[in-house]
Amino acid sequence: MERTADPHRPSVMDMNPQLALGAMLFGTVQDERRSFEILDRFVDAGGVWIDTANCYAFWSDPTGFGGQSETLLGRWLARRPGVRDRVRISTKVGCEPTEAGRFPETAEGLSAEVIKRGIEGSLRRLGTDHVELYWAHKPDPATPLDETVAAFDELVAAGTVGRLGCSNYPVWQLERARKLARAHGGAGFTAVQQQHTYLHHRRVAEPLVRHRFGVVSDEVLHYLEHHPDIALWAYTPLLNGRYTRPDRPLPAEYDHPGTARRLAALDEIAAETGTNRNRVVLAWLTGGTPAATPIVGVSTVEQLDEAVAGVSLELSTEQRERLDRAV
């Protein structure tokens, strides 16, 4: 059944289009009823982008393999005639394990054959003939970069994919991939997806993140400032609730003096705006330079409404400067 927007609720698109709904746990941790409820609310609020991957969420499914998120999205789209024309799908390839229980050592990679099979499987599960944005989920050291770039560009040329992005890539490899695409008249990567939030991440002796280059660095931001054609997407922008939930302490990579100063700045601005840390973080991300598209993964409609309020919040220039100065 076609749904209509509730005129009494704020609209994502009226206030700020830079918000993506993360569907990672739909179909596994989040059951169908709750997932559909969140998706419906997102569309009601004017939301457009839905982010998923072919490997979501292999770690939460008894089979050890992914595809559940895309499959659920396909069922939702099939039961909502007309909604496919109102949303844009972002999905990924490269991280699905080829053997259950052995990730990352058996990740599928980014060979031409894997990319071809990957998009075919994603489209089948989603029940659509195209996606608006297709990502390389992480670098594949075993496949020549020119093979990966050519395979992705073929999908754009065929109309199967609208745009291309890379997630968890080092800057040098992003630049080399774009150069290879330009040399052959290809589309190339025009979006970057990495973990990005207000607090500064500190490297520790033992990596605590799954992806070596998964965290936005100053080098990434500097590169994007000089390449305005590349969009920045931010995953885990609210650190899985750690800004506002005392029962979820910050991980070790945020255990440094700068964290206390930045949290104090967040609290100061939250008090001035009558909001909270989460809303200020999302406003800071969407209104920054470069502006980021936060991918919000929520488990309730109330959490989604909170995210909508965050991207709708406008910070003054002076407030933003205070947030930036806290280091």
Going residue by residue through the chain, which has 327 residues, state the pLDDT in tens, using 9 for 90 and above: 333 444 334 444 433 348 999 999 999 999 999 999 999 999 999 999 999 999 999 999 999 999 999 999 999 999 999 999 999 999 999 999 999 999 999 999 999 999 999 999 999 999 999 999 999 999 999 999 999 999 999 999 999 999 999 999 999 999 999 999 999 999 999 999 999 999 998 865 444 447 889 999 999 999 999 999 999 999 999 999 999 999 999 998 999 999 999 999 999 999 999 999 999 999 999 999 999 999 999 999 999 999 999 999 999 999 999 999 999
The C-alpha atoms of residue 113 and residue 323 are separated, in whole angstroms, by: 46
pTM of the model: 0.92
User: CA 173, 227, 158 angle in degrees (round to 5)?
Assistant: 70
| Residue 311 and residue 283 in contact, taking contact as beta carbons nearer than 8 Å | yes
| Residue 87 and residue 46 in contact, taking contact as beta carbons nearer than 8 Å | no
| Residue 307 and residue 296 in contact, taking contact as beta carbons nearer than 8 Å | yes
| Residue 265 and residue 322 in contact, taking contact as beta carbons nearer than 8 Å | yes
The full set of domains in the chain, from first to last, is: 12-325 (3.20.20.100)
